[in-house]
Amino acid sequence: MSLYEAEYETIRVESPTDHLAHVVLNRPDDLNTVSDGMLDDLDDLVDDLEDADVDEARAVLLTGAGEKAFSAGADLGGGAMDPREAVEHSRRGKTVFGRFRELDLPVVAGIDGYCLGGGFELSMCADLRVASDAAEFGLPEHNRGLLPGWGGTQRLQQLIGQSAAKQIVFTADRFDADRMYEFGYLTEVYDDEAFDDRVVEFADGIARGPPIAQRYTKRAMREGYENLDAGLELESHAFGYLLGTEDLMEGITAFMQDREPEFEGK
């Protein structure tokens, strides 16, 4: 079954351009808050992305439905959890989100409107993040006597440094897109009216890259972040492997002919 034929309850998957899987968090009436059902759907989605043919998906764009939010956080369903349940809920969320970091495909988060709490933590697991100038970011948990529980205390400081991350976590303030760009969290900030088109254009540019090289690049960078020596060794092996691919020859030929390469993932 094609990736685009899979059925989910809280997300939808579209293909706005060749090779780009556009994943939409689809609970607009609830500001795309992350429910248990959405965690299940995202988990299943990553399985489907891992199984997808190279011509179905070479990059992933993750956005929120509607005009108000990427995701306004976690939807706890109004029910109280005992401490043991809360521990497992925390583990579940950060494990599912972390699968986007482990996924071989490049993942772009396109953020418009509210990006708060668990939604913010989901965006931390993308490889690249772009936003509209109407986006708002924040981790409000400290104002409620909690801490970010889906990876925010760890992943944010890896991305923007400890001081900036502590400012966001301890103040529980809202930060606009320009400030998040200054922190280095965002790659691009687009005008809100042009956002829908620009974010697809940006992600499509990633999807048009060399699939095999992107896969090994992401693996090497991920491994090296945790262990420099292991990352350097993987980089060397990947470099040697890529020298034997047809994509390399296409890239060289396209450069010599002054045209855009057409990679096939071979």
Q: In what order do the strands lie in the sheet with 188-190?
A: 11-14, 20-25, 59-64, 107-111, 128-132, 188-190
In the predicted structure, residue 231 carries a pLDDT above the cut 90: no
Pick the CATH number of 3-207 from 3.90.226.10, 2.40.30.10, 3.20.20.70, 3.40.50.1000: 3.90.226.10
Is residue 90 within 8 A of residue 84, CB to CB? The reply is no
- Residue pLDDT, tens place only, 86-117: 888 889 999 999 999 999 999 999 999 999 99
Q: Which of 88, 102, 121, 188 is flagged as catalytic?
A: 121
In whole angstroms, what is the distance from residue 93 CA to residue 38 CA? 10
- What does the alpha-carbon distance between residue 207 and residue 115 come to, in Å, rounded to a whole number? 24
> Please, which residues have CB within 8 angstroms of residue 259's CB and are 6 or more apart in sequence?
none
The pLDDT of residue 187 is 96
pLDDT class of 241 with cuts at 50, 70, 90: confident
Specify the pLDDT at position 135.
97
- pLDDT-derived band at 260, boundaries 50, 70, 90: confident
- Of the pLDDT bands very low, low, confident and very high (cuts 50, 70, 90), residue 155 is very high
Distance CA 31, CA 57 (A): 27
Please say if the pLDDT value at position 246 is more than 90: no
- Look up the pTM and report it: 0.92
250 is catalytic: no
Please tell me the CATH code under which domain 211-256 is placed.
1.10.12
Domain extents in the chain: 3-207, 211-256
**Torsion sign across C-alpha atoms 68, 32, 6, 99:** positive
What's the pLDDT at 77? 65
Considering 85, 141, 193, 260, which one is annotated as catalytic?
141
Whether 252 shows a pLDDT value over 90: the answer reads no
Q: Is 141 a catalytic residue?
A: yes
pLDDT at 79: 63
Average pLDDT over residues 165-184: 96
Three-state secondary-structure class, residue 69? strand
Average pLDDT of the residues in 131-148: 93
Dihedral through CA 134, CA 37, CA 58, CA 243, nearest 10?
120
Q: What is the pLDDT of residue 66?
A: 92
